[in-house]
Amino acid sequence: MKRIMEWTKQKNKHNNFLQISSGVLESVAKLHVDWCVSISLNGVYFGGWVSENYLALAQLTRWFFALLPNLRSGPEYRDPIRPYTTWTVRELREWLRVRGIENVGKKVHTGR
């Protein structure tokens, strides 16, 4: 699942994936089927999930990920045209994301 989330981010389709998939697993949970106990996705970390939730996702994988071909790309990325020292944290993270570089950390201004 984490790889799929990374793939959707690299292809600029992550927001669309989250919109399309929101509520899908929850609607399965409302059916109260004993062999398929699904709960919602909480990002890529699966907070609160136990083995029966993973088993449910495994059984629903083909159906759930059939949504992938329907994803639309977000707006194409373009570098800001002003000096990089004035970029916002969001712009810096997007610049790193597009290049496949980890974007966790703080913006440090060197004063140059």
Using H for helix, E for strand and C for coil, what is the string for the chain? CHHHHHHHHHCCCHHHHHHHHCCHHHHHHCCCCCCCCCCCCCCCCCCCCCHHHHHHHHHHHHHHHHHHHHCCCCCCCCCCCCCHHHCCHHHHHHHHHHCCCCCCCCCCCCCC
Report the C-alpha gap between 84 and 44 in whole angstroms: 30
The predicted-structure confidence for 49-97, as pLDDT tens digits, reads as follows 778 877 888 888 888 788 788 787 776 777 888 888 898 888 888 787 7
Report the C-alpha gap between 40 and 24 in whole angstroms: 8
The predicted-structure confidence for 9-40, as pLDDT tens digits, reads as follows 777 777 777 777 777 778 888 888 888 887 77
pTM for the whole structure: 0.52
